[in-house]
Amino acid sequence: MSDTPALPAVSREWHLLSRPVGWPKPEDFALVEAELPRPGQGQVLVRNEYLSVDPYMRGRMSEAKSYAPPYELNKPMLGGAVGEVVASEAEGIAVGDHVLHSGGWREYAAVDAGQAVKVDPEVAPLSTYLGVLGMTGLTAYAGLLRIASLKEGDVVFVSGAAGAVGSQVGQLARLKGASRVIGSAGSDEKVKLLLDEYGFDAAFNYKSGPVAEQLRAAAPDGVDVYFDNVGGDHLQAAIGSLNRGGRIAICGMISVYNNTEPAPGPNNLARLIQTRGRIEGFLVGDHYDLQPRFVQEVGPWVRSGELKYRETVVEGVENTLEAFLGVLRGDNTGKMIVKL
């Protein structure tokens, strides 16, 4: 094994101690010290530089059957991470390379080379590979273009629009010819960001009044596409404003993730008959075939500044849990990133 000389003896990592009921509590987790892993044959050891915390991780903390296996108790949790290779037992990946992988929530990770993707910090900042040019960006791209079948001239409504995915959805819609882009967010400051920086045509603070009323005011002629990150009253409002042939892409429903009882569904689904509307849920993992096209099309927009992005950066592995809870509270503007 070839490695750099100054590696520590231990690595800190976050473990799930008990499965949260309702809102996760600090006592459900522990930051523990573990012996520094050594890469086996075909593996690399990565010193993580940036970690991703995302809403979907709440689902993995539950035992409920889902699209991703639940986190194991008393073992390190998983999540997107990007870092520098400090030891390698794999062909094609050398010490000093930077890779994207899923061994997050920890300082060092031994990763199978086949599960590590080389990234270039000269092309874009490393953190962007967890957000605007990573899974977050591809989620926005696949959901808007493939699931919601965006067409030029569509009126588009995005909930959670100041978040990492939502902010990219709105900008992509504008760049791809939407006639009007509307966003909802949870503070007046975020509404201002949507209008002034991301180029939304209209935006509202969902805490300022009923969502359905605010949406009708922002989209008097209805909406053709709704990209749902929130669920609940936002989904009901979008169905109520849906135009004929409208499409709804269900990406997430953060408003109900910590509920202990099932949330009531929209009571206006009959409108889908009148509008011939369509609702479809999706997972980004089913759409990785779009990755090359996505990077080819969106990369230049990021580099030119036509597609803007924000990151909320929390420093220190010891603050990873607080960063994750912040995502559930809506504290972040853009992608929540932990810098190690």
Tens of pLDDT, residues 278-318: 999 999 889 988 987 898 899 889 888 999 998 999 999 99
What local confidence, expressed as pLDDT, does residue 120 receive? 85
What local confidence, expressed as pLDDT, does residue 256 receive? 64
Q: What is the rounded distance in angstroms from the CA atom of residue 338 to the CA atom of residue 316?
A: 7
SS3 at position 41:
coil
Residue ranges for the chain with pLDDT beneath 70 = 1-5, 255-264
Which tens digits make up the pLDDT trace of 194-240?
A: 999 999 999 999 999 999 999 999 999 999 999 999 998 999 999 99
What local confidence, expressed as pLDDT, does residue 39 receive? 95
C-beta neighbour count of 180 within 10 angstroms: 19
From the list 201, 230, 247, 187, the residue with the least C-alpha distance to 328 is 230
From the list 119, 94, 135, 125, the residue with the least C-alpha distance to 3 is 94
What local confidence, expressed as pLDDT, does residue 185 receive? 95
